[in-house]
Amino acid sequence: MVGGRTGEEVDSIWPVAVLYPYSGRHMKVALINPGTDEKYAVQEPLNLGFLASHLLANGIGVTIIDELAGQDVARELGLYKPDIAGITATTPMAADAYRVAAMCKEMGIFTVMGGVHASVMPDEALKHVDVVVKGEGETALLDIIRDGIGNGIISRPYIKNIDTIPPPARHLLQMDFYVRSKSRIPHSYLYFVPEGAKTASVLTSRGCPYSCIYCHNTWRGMPTRYNSPERVISEIAGIKKEYGVETIFFIEDNLFVNKKRLRTICELMIEGNVDVLWGGNSRVDNLDRESIALAQRAGCRQITFGFESGSQRVLDLLKKKTTVAQNKLAIELCNEAGIIPQGTFIVGSPGETLEDVRLTMKFIEDSGIESAGVCIATPYPGTQLWDYAIEHNLMPETYTWSDFDYLNTPINLSPEIPKQELLKLIENVNILLAIRQMGRVNVLSAIRGIIKEPSKIFAILQSLVKNPSLVKNLAKRVIKQIFSSR
């Protein structure tokens, strides 16, 4: 047996690990971001960036291969010739991850898989790779390399001080591809990003203290941990200098939950003249006028909320612990401060009725928000919705992970509402939002966007005919835009 950690020290509930016959600092690791659907390529794979920076700090050779960004995995593997391939897996792209794993095995490369899907479906993932990492990967991957763990499912304690992990190794990411996300995918959540502006993502905390039934955070059992404000400012300054970005989006679950830290970050941005526009995620009950005003002064131009529903009954069913009144207040506070309120909604939750769905659609219509995403409740593995679907025998005999994309879910959690009815209501909301957005964006850009989606032209015209007030408001805003640009 090669020296190192024994199988007994790996979590005992998993298959006993064996050791593979090579380990040490000379190892070369290729971290792979699988997938070909560009709608998932809005933000850099920062998870792999953190893994890479941690390996580099410990003397391990590493590269990142990003299939989502257009790289040819087989070609890059052939050029780099790694000893280990570390593959990340989210549920919609699990099949892609397994495909890449098979490719690596055919090339004789030792395979490790991590990520959310592998963490919640480790036995499934282990059928495709040598080792599965459950939970955070930095410590686990280093142990696999140093101690020669060669088979099984392993987990390691969460990292208490995430400042000990260096910033993502962005020099190994396809940054030229990702800084153009707004141009490549104009209808993403990056609504605040000006046309043509370079953008980047940052992740400055881990975990979430809430337990919404649709979110995978409920299984993690990890406390929320934060990078220090000084570390955050240093990272943003470095990204701006190196890649010329003009906008930043904080992709953590809730940027505004720790108000003291947020206040310090904003103050440091203002004092240091960190000249970037930025956006981030927040719960509606974490906002107050003081925080949002300070954030606006520091460059905040968009806050994305999980509104989820316009029905209080559904919010309670989702264990959201927020109210419809708080949803409305969050929008008002953003509008007062000159910040774009962007949000997501869920329809088709367990126990939801058609009347509940209509309350959500009415909320969107009455609120005046211009950027929102409406999703069908999707029971991702590891969530309480997944458990509900199993307990109530709602799982179909066959399904594919790629269908778990918020609209094509094969599992109907509210059988009393036909899926086609939900899709029709969602399309109506999307048309309404498209019309509203036409008054804000550059007129020529709006026309180009419509031309790219000709299937929507008739629907938009039909909606304008049915809603003369929309025509009037749109005309006013377009005229105002034209004259203000002179």
Tell me: the pLDDT tens digits for 390-414? 999 999 988 999 989 888 888 889 9
Over residues 154-178, the mean pLDDT reads: 97
Res. 454: pLDDT tops 80: no
Higher pLDDT, residue 14 or 230: 230
Res. 435: pLDDT tops 90: no
Over residues 344-348, the mean pLDDT reads: 94
Res. 480: pLDDT tops 50: yes
The reported pLDDT for the residue numbered 19 is 42
Percent of the chain that is helix, strand, coil (3-state, to 5): 45, 15, 40
Over residues 232-238, the mean pLDDT reads: 97
Which percentage of the chain shows pLDDT scores above 90?
A: 71
Res. 462: pLDDT tops 80: no
C-alpha span between 406 and 31 (Å, rounded)? 27
**CA-wise closest residue to 380 among 354, 426, 413, 353:** 413
In 9-59, alpha helices (H): 46-57
pTM, to two decimals: 0.86
The reported pLDDT for the residue numbered 436 is 73
Q: Residue 11 — very low, low, confident or very high, per pLDDT cuts 50/70/90?
A: very low
Over residues 442-458, the mean pLDDT reads: 52
**CA-wise closest residue to 207 among 197, 194, 195, 221:** 221
Residue that has been written with the tokens 């696999």 in this structure:
144
Res. 130: pLDDT tops 60: yes
What is the average pLDDT value for the chain, to the nearest integer? Answer: 87
The reported pLDDT for the residue numbered 479 is 57
Segment 276-331, tens digit of pLDDT: 999 999 999 999 999 999 999 999 999 999 999 999 999 999 999 999 999 999 99
Res. 457: pLDDT tops 60: no
CA 280 to the chain's CA centroid: 11
Segment 26-45, tens digit of pLDDT: 789 999 999 999 999 999 99
**CA-wise closest residue to 269 among 253, 286, 254, 248:** 248
C-alpha span between 192 and 198 (Å, rounded)? 12
Using the CB atoms, write b or e for 418-427: b if 16+ within 10 Å: ebeebbebbe
Pairing mode, if any, of strands 247-250 and 277-282? Answer: parallel
The token pair that represents 287 in the structure block:
């906002």
Which residues are 371's β-sheet partners? 342
Segment 464-474, tens digit of pLDDT: 565 565 555 55
Q: How many CA atoms lie within 13 A of 56 on its CB side?
A: 19
The reported pLDDT for the residue numbered 419 is 85
Residue 308 DSSP SS3 = strand
The reported pLDDT for the residue numbered 269 is 97
Over residues 266-284, the mean pLDDT reads: 96
Res. 92: pLDDT tops 90: yes
* DSSP H or E stretch at residue 427: helix 419-438
Over residues 340-363, the mean pLDDT reads: 94
Q: Which residues contact 453 (CB under 8 A, 6 or more apart)?
A: none
The reported pLDDT for the residue numbered 171 is 98
Residue 42 DSSP SS3 = coil
Contacts 24+ apart (CB under 8 A), 134-138: 134/11, 134/14, 135/220, 135/222, 136/206, 136/222, 137/47, 137/51, 137/86, 138/50, 138/51, 138/54, 138/165
User: How far is CA 87 from each of CA 45, 328, 368, rounded to the nearest angstrom?
Assistant: 12, 41, 42
CB 151 within 8 A of CB 15: yes
The token pair that represents 464 in the structure block:
């304008």
The token pair that represents 48 in the structure block:
């792999």
Higher pLDDT, residue 211 or 276: 276
